[in-house]
Chains A and B, each alone.
Chain A
Amino acid sequence: MEAILNIFRKKPTENFMMHGKEQKETEKISIELKKHIDTIFGRSLAIREVDSGSDNSTEIELVNLTTPHYDIERFGISFVASPRHADAMIVTGAVTHNMEFALRKAYDAMPAPKLVIAVGNDACNGGIFREGYAVNNGVEEILPVDMKIPGNPPTPKEILLGLLALMKKIRHEREKGK
């Protein structure tokens, strides 16, 4: 009986307030992002995330992108489990020496053409850990980086804007190439 009633009940998530200025803004960015993904990637962008030594706040923000407020899977972006399924790799952290090998292996496993996105201040240039004994000065020293999204950590909105900028950059390069 309980189960049948569930069909008619309000879904638990419907109880929450999900509007407001902030919500509209991210929605707008996401829709624009989707248009670009549709043309460049044929509707879906698969991202593999590798943490190479961030504090964990960047990971929390990336997970947040998949939660109800942002839910970027609606716009064609999914975080995939294997680098072999990925079009792009998001790297966080300044790349510690202990993680370097694993990061390179993951990158090598990705099929070309591949994109690398550095997220967070430390991934962009080492951040406060620059010139330390245990880290590299950002992802750039190890892999070719296509887009940097700075922030400590960048907010989900900033990450979306960064992805949007990357899409625009790719399209721009393509048009120039033609």
Chain B
Amino acid sequence: MNAFTHKLEEIFGNKVTVLEMSGGCNNEVFIRVKEDDVEKAASMLSKADFVLIAMFCEEGFQNKGKFSIFYVFEKKSYNKILVLVRDISSNNISSVTGIFPAAFWYEREIMDGFGINFNGNPDKRRLFLHEWYQNEFHPLLKSFKNRKIENIGPRKIEFKKEMEENTGNDYEFKEMKGDGVYQIPVGPIHAGIIEPGHFRFSVIGEVIYNLEIRMFYKHRGIEKFAEEKKAEDAIAIAESISGDESVANSTAFCTAVEKIYMADVPKRALHLRTILLELERIYSHLGDLAGMIIDVGFPAGASQFFILREEILRMNNKLTGSRFMKNILTIGGLKKEVKNDALIRANHYFNKFLGEFHKAVKVVHTTASVIDRLETTGIIRKDLIKCLNITGPAARGSGAAIDTRIDHPYGIYGKIMQAPKIRYAGDVLSRFEVKTEETIESVKMIQNLINTVPEGNVNAEYTPKDGFGLCILEAPRGQSIHWVDIKDGKIYRYKIRTASFCNWQAIEHAVLGNIVPDFPLINKSLNLSYAGTDL
């Protein structure tokens, strides 16, 4: 803590006065500065190489009826997470988008949820509330109790024209004009079995000159759902954020709550959780690898990855009783024991798995037409990574050594993680290679963990407490952040920021200069979750 105070003095000098500073329960440091100083503080943090990794709002954090905005910062080589708390007195506040471009979506999100205006954010369009919602509707305000809203949506309005007349705020896409420029609208429903989202391409011939994405078609109101619930009941909600990241999200939620409760999770439970987290990474990566190969039109190569994924899903079922490992985690550990003989069988299976996996990867690497499509496609420039807070394999494919498991170790990762797998080209092939290497690494990690898993309880006793906490962890897609505030034994605010929320913004940059047929490939290589973004 002292070292950090020193560091802050170094960054802020005498230009910004820190009013208050306190340590959090999970390695975070909360600071408050004078309200006018927030922008100055942000720009100084930006100069000192801090990255804005999350930004959210809460009503009544410490004073009832007042809003607080939290800016969460991370810096490479600092193990602490810095949270700048901004208590605001009016609904018109200054924006930090000029300093941290990553704030664009966050500020629009807060605008929708709480009705707070950010002066200086050039994009005033609504984000997760589409045109069906009333203008004055802000679901995350405490004055709104979660309930079904009647008379919303197009049930009686059959055509778009009438819809516009009824709500009067149709969404305007940024348009590119000029000779030969035309727009391709795609979605929200796509050709394959994929989640919904809208893409607006501006193209000349086949080359993409601009892409604007519109998400949040799947907005289910998850954050509001968690409110007023007991922590144990909200685990199912955390698991539904994104089906193929259910372990990562529920682990993050449980860890945040455990830190608040100061519960001591048994060693065996931590071990088993790590095994499940890595299993999830394996099947998620396998799905991506298969998807990338499918999207270049090479189903024979892809089917091998699909076969392996199905085998892993079946193994998940044997280990936990659910193919997606749902309903196994709980606060304080695991709901039920994972049997040792099932683990040993899994260990045996993985020996075979590695052989088959290497063969499958070799098929791809020795097929020139596939490599030709993957190479130099969809390049993410390294300088975008900090601006947009790109994380996960997408960042590691562009030469950034970012991995939350190493930078901010949680669970038992501090002991078992080595250097992150990195590629430098930033194209689809790099991401393909990063994912293959991570899959192999995860398999080896699981095998080691199975061999060393300690005996004992998988469940700890705990006493519920009030408090707030932050948990960040590395999901298969990248860094996830969960903020939990518990008041009177119930969840008061639950904020989720999945990796996809940030990584989606990278795709608008990655596709520029590529041809339209390569878009699905680039999309797949980033493996973005629509559900995890839309919440």
What residues make up the interface of A, taking CB atoms closer than 8 Å to B?
A: 11-13, 15-16, 18, 22, 49-64, 67-69, 79, 81-82, 93-94, 96-102, 104, 106, 128-129, 131-137, 142, 152-153, 155
Among residues 243 to 295 in chain B, which have CB atoms less than 8 Å away from a CB atom of chain A?
243-244, 246, 287
Give the docked Cα–Cα distance between A13 and B301 (Å). 9
B132 and A100: CB pair below 8 A?
Answer: yes
Contact between chains at B196 and A51 (CB < 8 Å): yes
Question: Is A96 touching B219 in the complex (CB atoms < 8 A)?
Answer: yes
Contacts A52-B218, A99-B218 given; 7 further ones with Cβ under 8 A?
Answer: A53-B219, A55-B243, A67-B307, A68-B310, A98-B130, A104-B154, A133-B144
Is the CB–CB distance between A101 and B153 below 8 Å?
Answer: yes
- In the complex with contacts A57-B246, A106-B189, A133-B224, A96-B531 CB distance below 8 A: no
Pick the residue among A55, A58, A69 that contacts B310 (CB under 8 A). A69
Known: A15-B356, A68-B307. A133 touches B149 (CB 8 A): yes
Tell me if B363 is interfacial: C-beta within 8 Å of chain A. yes
| CB of B71 within 8 Å of the partner chain | no
B193 within 8 A of A: yes
Residues of B close to A98: CB separation below 8 A: 128, 130, 132, 216-219
| Cα of A11 to Cα of B363 in the assembled complex, Å | 11
Can you list 5 pairs linking A and B with CB atoms under 8 Å apart? Answer: A55-B239, A99-B218, A101-B160, A102-B217, A134-B219
Instruction: Establish whether residues A133 and B221, one from each chain, have CB atoms under 8 Å apart when the complex forms.
Output: yes
User: Footprint of A on B, CB under 8 Å?
Assistant: 128, 130, 132-133, 139, 144, 146-149, 152-155, 160, 163, 188-189, 191-196, 216-221, 224-225, 236-237, 239-244, 246, 287, 300-301, 303-304, 306-311, 313-314, 323-324, 326, 356, 359-360, 363, 529-531, 534
For A22, what are the chain B residues with a Cβ–Cβ distance below 8 Å?
314
In the assembled complex, the CB of A30 is this many whole angstroms from the nearest CB of chain B, namely: 15
Whether A67 pairs with B310 at a CB distance below 8 angstroms is yes
Residue of A nearest to B243 (CB): A57
Chain A residue nearest in CB terms to B236: A128
Whole-angstrom distance between the alpha carbons of A166 and B218 in the complex?
Answer: 27
User: What is the chain B residue whose CB lies nearest that of A11?
Assistant: B300
Taking a contact as CB atoms under 8 Å apart, the answer to whether A51 and B152 are in contact is no
Distance in Å: Cβ of A127 to nearest Cβ of chain B: 8
* Residues of chain B lying within 8 A (CB to CB) of residue A11: 300
B221 contacts A135, C-beta separation under 8 Å: yes
Q: Are B303 and A13 in contact (CB-based, < 8 A)?
A: yes
Least Cβ distance of B115 to chain A in Å?
15
Question: Which residues of A have CB within 8 Å of B194?
Answer: 51, 59
| B195 touching A132, Cβ below 8 Å | no
Chain A residues within 8 Å of B323, by CB: 61, 155
Question: How far, in whole Å, are A52 and B197 apart by their CA atoms in the complex?
Answer: 11
Which residue from chain B places its CB closest to the CB of A105 in the assembled complex?
B189
Q: A55-B243, A55-B531, A57-B243 are in contact. Are A97 and B132 (CB under 8 A)?
A: yes
* Distance in Å: Cβ of A152 to nearest Cβ of chain B: 6
Note all chain A residues with C-beta closer than 8 A to B530.
51, 56
Q: Is the CB of B218 within 8 A of A133?
A: no
How many whole Å from B307's CB to the nearest CB in chain A?
5
Chain A: which residue is nearest B153 at the CB level? A100
Using CB atoms, name the residue of chain A closest to B314: A22
**Separation in Å of the A142 CB from the closest CB of chain B?**
7
Is A56 touching B359 in the complex (CB atoms < 8 A)?
no
A133 to B150, CA, bound (A): 9
Contact A49 B193 (CB under 8 A): yes
Please tell me if the beta carbons of A96 and B147 are within 8 angstroms of each other in the complex. no
Q: How far apart are A17's CB and chain B's nearest CB, in angstroms?
A: 8
Residue contact B217 to A132, C-beta cutoff 8 Å: no
In the assembled complex, which residues on chain A have CB atoms less than 8 Å from the CB atom of B216?
98
Residues of B within 8 A of A15 (CB): 356, 359
From A16, A22, A131, A155, name the one whose CB has the most chain B CB atoms within 10 angstroms.
A16
Cα-based distance from A153 to B123 in the complex (angstroms): 37
* CB-based contact B218/A53 at 8 Å: yes
* Among B154, B194, B239, B360: residue with most chain A CB under 10 A: B154
Name the CB-closest residue of A to B323. A155
| A58 CB contacts on chain B under 8 angstroms | 243
A81 with B130: CB separation less than 8 A: no
Task: Across the interface, name the chain A residue whose C-beta is closest to B304.
Answer: A12
Q: Are B529 and A56 in contact (CB under 8 A)?
A: yes
For residue B285, give the distance in angstroms from its CB to the closest CB of chain A.
Answer: 13
Q: Report the Cα distance A18→B311, complex, angstroms.
A: 10
Contacts A128-B237, A134-B219 given: A56-B195 contact, CB under 8 Å? yes
| Bound-complex Cα distance A82 to B359 (A) | 36
Shortest Cβ distance from B38 into chain A, in angstroms?
31
